[in-house]
Amino acid sequence: MIVPIKQIIAKAKEKKYAVGAFNTSNLEITLAIVRAAVAEKSPVIIQSSESAIKYSNLETLFNMMTTIANTIGKSVPIAIHLDHGHDLNLVKQCINIGYNSVHMDASDKDFATNVRLSKQAVKLAHSKKIWVQAELGSILGKEGLVKLETGEINMKDLMTDPYQAEDFVARTGIDTLAISVGTIHGQFRGIEKVDQRRLKKINSLVKIPLVLHGGSGLSSKIFKEAIKNGVSVINIDTNLRVAFKKALLSQLKKESDLIDPRQILAPSTEAMQKEVVKMIRIFGSRNKA
């Protein structure tokens, strides 16, 4: 059932576990996330990116997420979140349609611009009791990884500065902070690094819940240490995509004459559900509904 995101995240921070924020863009992924949450009696955050909204249409995607959350997922607390909203106009649209939380991501801008855009989002969202996540530091993707490998950029220069984070939160009034502590968006072999010391310092200075992006591919040990050091929300996307693709290819190879999309996609939905269950258990949110 859809509930205020504060209800979900505040409890996670207090009890020292993390809630999974899983990206969706279609019916099958959403079903997998919600079915896993129900099976594990776990709170969960369903989130959509700008590209997912562009693919599916905002109204369609939002109505699908909320309908499934309030029917299949009626026994567990669920929140709907906008992930990496770079466009303030889209952030406004998500606030107006009823998202529980929005991510105003201006981390690619200078500090002053990031503060200004984050404050604007806070003003709009808080008037409707909606939470705002902002981001400080850079969380890279595939292109950034190439630049790291060639020495064009240094990972430490991209990470969140603890003292700047304290100042940023005070200036903006945001509710959650996405931080850069070494993770990278996507799933890349060898990316098993989180600057736990930096994370712990940020947590000591910033009193709002911290969000870890780029979590796919990390070990359970690293996840658990990050949660111990202050992370309350962990974003997962690539893990589900990989599970979907593997199951889909296997099903098509095994049953090449299938033409019913439901039979073709059912194994992929089941595979993603198993992946969400695995993450829920690692994050410690099982039986926390």
pLDDT tens track for 61-99: 999 999 999 999 999 999 999 999 999 999 999 999 999
Mean pLDDT of all residues belonging to the chain: 92
Give the 3-state secondary structure of the chain.
CECCHHHHHHHHHHHCCCEEEEECCCHHHHHHHHHHHHHHCCCEEEEEEHHHHHHHCHHHHHHHHHHHHHCCCCCCCEEEEEEEECCHHHHHHHHHHCCCEEEECCCCCCHHHHHHHHHHHHHHHHCCCCEEEEEECCCECHHHHHHHHHCCCCHHHHCCCHHHHHHHHHHHCCCEEEECCCCECCCCCCCCCCCHHHHHHHHHHCCCCEEECCCCCCCHHHHHHHHHCCEEEEEECHHHHHHHHHHHHHHHHHCCCCCCHHHHHHHHHHHHHHHHHHHHHHHCCCCCC
Cβ of 225: how many Cβ atoms within 10 Å? 16
Window from 16-30, 134-148, 246-260 with minimum mean pLDDT: 134-148
* pLDDT digit string, tens, across residues 160-186: 999 999 999 999 999 999 999 988 755
The string over 131-145, giving b where at least 16 C-beta atoms fall within 10 Å of a residue's C-beta and e elsewhere, is bbbbbbbbbbeeebb
Tokens at 221, concatenated: 């040990």
Higher pLDDT, 146 or 250: 250
Residues 3, 115: Cα–Cα separation, whole Å: 28
Catalytic residue check, 257 = no
Cα 119 to chain center, whole Å?
21
Domains of the chain with CATH codes: 5-283 (3.20.20.70)
Q: Which of 83, 105, 195, 237 is catalytic?
A: 83
Give me the pLDDT at residue 139, please.
59
Neighbouring residues of 75: CB distance < 8 A, sequence distance ≥ 6: 1, 38, 41, 289
Give me the pLDDT at residue 214, please.
82
Q: What mean pLDDT is predicted for residues 241-263?
A: 94
Give me the pLDDT at residue 189, please.
45
Tokens at 240, concatenated: 């589900």
Residues 6, 132: Cα–Cα separation, whole Å: 11
Give me the pLDDT at residue 142, please.
43
Tokens at 85, concatenated: 């909203």
